[in-house]
Amino acid sequence: MADMDKTLTMLKDLTDAKGIPGNEGEVRKVMKEYITPYADEITTDGLGSLIARKTGQENGPKILLTGHLDEVGFMVTQIDEKGFLRFQPVGGWWSQVMLAQRVTVVTKKGDVTGVIGSKPPHILSPEARKKPVEIKEMFIDIGASSREEAQDWGVRPGDMVVPYFEFTVMNNEKMLLAKAWDNRIGCAIVIDVLKQLHGTDHPNIVYGVGAVQEEVGLRGSRTSTFKIKPDIGFALDVGIAGDTPGVTEREALGKMGKGPQVVIYDASMVAHKGLRDFVTDVADEHNIPYQYESIPGGGTDAGSIHVSDGGVPALAITIATRYIHSHAAMLHRDDYENTVKLIVEVIKKLDRQAVDKIIFE
């Protein structure tokens, strides 16, 4: 693999970090480390969302950028007498991407390696081979011989279980494979936007947020929005890539490498029309490629941002990503860089007059 540049090192640090909803501490620490040099102040909300403020103009409008810290994973619910772990998915999983996958159980005594157990084909009936195993039938094998041994290793109900996967730059070096792109890529965009605004004039106050608990109901973005009371909100997240075999354009339009996705509709929000038009106008002006996306199922942090406090014009901007909500997802570095570029240009133009026009027209 080529020597990792600073951006790749940051992306690796963010995706390697382990953090499911309610257990985001490790990810928050990584994001805080990277964003602190570009922020005037770092705070948190009561649930643990990270809030980095960067003031361009003291009395300018407040612009919120949110990426979420949490990734989909599992929680240990019980340990049986033989030392196998029963678990609860935390966030949305499809049973077919889970069997025989390696996981890490994070305990107070340290990390314990496990694998989601599966039966060999030799003992399955022809009917059973065709039928997906239900998640509630699955278990995690950590190699313990008894409940007591598992407990001695520090395993307790409530411990988080995180997919294990190694960050990889592929043969096409623009293609990046990792766990937890959903949504460490959003956190990375927030960091990079603040970095690019560092030392420049912008007519507003930017709040870069690493929100907690998005995957279980967009929770941290709600609490952080109430705390910040922004004028405008952006959610930065992964979107669906519809460019693999078997996915039709009717199901998903997004293509990797074709620019940020402007989400016009999803299950959590109808995009704010004025803000959407403002963003696409800026993209057109700067020749930044973009694509439209609508997602009938699923939502982003913009879903809770826009109905928080007195209501906030909001927009989700996403990166087309393959294989999300599994152990390994893939995205295109150009999309990441174009999204950062777009958000920076948008922020430079969001003065009080532009914000009032978006809200009132």
Catalytic residues: 214
Cβ atoms 312, 232 nearer than 8 A: yes
* Strand ranges in the chain using DSSP code E only, listed in sequence order: 41-44, 50-55, 62-68, 73-79, 85-90, 102-107, 110-116, 140-141, 160-163, 168-169, 175-178, 205-211, 232-240, 261-266, 269-270, 291-295, 314-321, 329-332
Quickly tell me which residue has 């958000």 as its tokens. Answer: 343
3-state SS of 51-83 is EEEEECCCCCCEEEEEEECCCCEEEEEEECCCC
Tokens of 88: 């609860």
Reduced to 3 states (helix: H, G, I; strand: E, B; else coil), residue 87 is: strand
Cβ atoms 268, 296 nearer than 8 A: no
Tokens of 127: 């009917």
Cβ atoms 241, 97 nearer than 8 A: no
